[in-house]
């Protein structure tokens, strides 16, 4: 397995771990000829095993596209992505990762329990094992009292927690999240961020790739931030976040937190005004 490359701001230990994702000079073009859209250009970065890596950038810079390429849901135009030394397509077929989308996709006629159980049912997990794991995941995301509710009886934040529980239920070592808190109000969003950190720390070794356009969200959550430029999306800088863990809301007041936030803001601002 390839070692993750050393990058700028390499203060933490994450850069020395083996890489779960290695993206090398990735390009993505939609369509062809005059109507071709260059969504991504020459994108390279590593996601060390067990780390939390955010992909941060303005709307339309190709973040979701990049996630779909990593997940093997769309073909790459140029360059290469390796996920645990396999192609994204191989990983997708082996169901080696979980994925959470911006809008939770839940089945309204199924209860919370039944929604969370779905991927386990699909891979043929026994009923007893399913019950055990679903119960555990529902507790983990704090929905123990709502296991028999239907999605429409839950708030947006609770629905997203169901989607997170479902993605975690089959125990993926690699989780991809595409702006999972984008549709939530600020207070719920901040609560969900710290809850996600709690869930993640309870499952050591789990790698997360998280898409966001919020600088503070990226700094709070991540070991590493891949800062993207506007379309065509390119990597502007890769920043390793050297804030101690466990992190709580309090870290937002930390001098270093504000310093990193400011650095990213300046970087994005300098590009907009270049």
Stretch that binds ligand ATP, among 14-22, 62-70, 144-152, 235-243 (CB under 6 A): 62-70
Give dist(CA 74, CA 67) in Å, integer. 9
Give dist(CA 46, CA 21) in Å, integer. 6
Q: Which two tokens stand for residue 38?
A: 């260059």
Q: At what angle do helices 156-169 and 127-140 cross, to 10 degrees?
A: 140
271 is an interface residue for ligand ATP by CB under 6 A: no
Among 27, 62, 98, 180, binds ligand ATP (CB under 6 A): 62
Annotate each residue in 202-221 with x if it binds ligand ATP (CB under 6 A) or - if it does not, as one string.
-----------x--------
Q: Tell me the helices (H) and strands (E) count for the chain, helix number first.
A: 8, 9
Give dist(CA 157, CA 194) in Å, integer. 13
CA angle 224, 5, 245 (to 5 degrees): 30
30 is an interface residue for ligand ATP by CB under 6 A: yes
Among 231, 237, 252, 256, binds ligand ATP (CB under 6 A): 231
229 is an interface residue for ligand ATP by CB under 6 A: no
61 is an interface residue for ligand ATP by CB under 6 A: yes
Among 8, 32, 59, 126, binds ligand ATP (CB under 6 A): 59
Q: For the chain, how are helix, strand and coil distributed in percent, rounded to 5?
A: 40, 25, 35
Least gap, CB of 77 to ligand ATP (angstroms): 12
53 is an interface residue for ligand ATP by CB under 6 A: no
Question: To which H or E segment does residue 40 belong?
Answer: strand 37-48
37 is an interface residue for ligand ATP by CB under 6 A: yes
Q: Which of residues 101-160 bind ligand ATP (CB under 6 A)?
A: none
230 is an interface residue for ligand ATP by CB under 6 A: no
Classify residue 126 by its DSSP letter.
-
Of 4, 3, 7, whose CA–CA distance to 236 is shortest? 7
Least gap, CB of 71 to ligand ATP (angstroms): 12
234 is an interface residue for ligand ATP by CB under 6 A: no
60 is an interface residue for ligand ATP by CB under 6 A: yes
Half-sphere exposure of 23 (CA within 13 A, CB side): 28
For ligand ATP, the closer CB: 57 or 157? 57
Query: Which residues here bind ligand ATP, judged by CB under 6 A?
Result: 30-31, 37, 39, 57, 59-65, 213, 231
């Amino acid at each position: 397995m390839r070692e993750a490359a050393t990058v700028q701001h390499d203060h933490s230990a994450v850069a020395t771990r083996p890489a779960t994702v290695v993206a090398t000079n990735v390009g993505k073009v939609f369509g062809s000829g005059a109507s071709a859209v260059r969504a991504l250009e020459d994108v390279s970065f590593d996601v060390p095993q067990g780390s939390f890596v955010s992909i941060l950038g303005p709307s339309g810079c190709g973040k979701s596209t990049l996630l779909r390429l990593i997940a093997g849901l769309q073909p790459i135009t140029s360059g290469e992505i390796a996920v645990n030394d396999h192609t994204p397509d191989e990983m997708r077929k082996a169901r080696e990762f979980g994925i959470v989308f911006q809008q939770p996709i839940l089945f309204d006629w199924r209860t919370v329990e039944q929604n969370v159980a779905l991927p386990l049912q699909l891979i043929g997990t026994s009923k007893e094992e399913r019950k055990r794991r679903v119960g555990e995941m529902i507790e983990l995301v704090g929905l123990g009292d709502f296991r028999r509710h239907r999605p429409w009886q839950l708030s947006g934040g609770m629905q997203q927690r169901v989607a997170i529980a479902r993605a975690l239920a089959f125990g993926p070592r690699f989780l991809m999240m595409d702006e999972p808190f984008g549709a939530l109000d600020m207070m719920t969003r901040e609560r969900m961020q710290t809850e996600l950190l709690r869930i993640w720390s309870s499952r050591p070794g789990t790698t997360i790739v998280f898409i966001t356009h919020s600088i503070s969200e990226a700094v709070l959550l991540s070991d590493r931030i891949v800062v993207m430029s506007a379309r065509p999306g390119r990597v502007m800088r890769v920043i390793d976040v050297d804030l101690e863990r466990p992190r709580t809301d309090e870290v937002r007041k930390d001098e270093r937190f504000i310093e990193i936030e400011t650095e990213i803001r300046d970087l994005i601002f300098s590009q907009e005004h270049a």
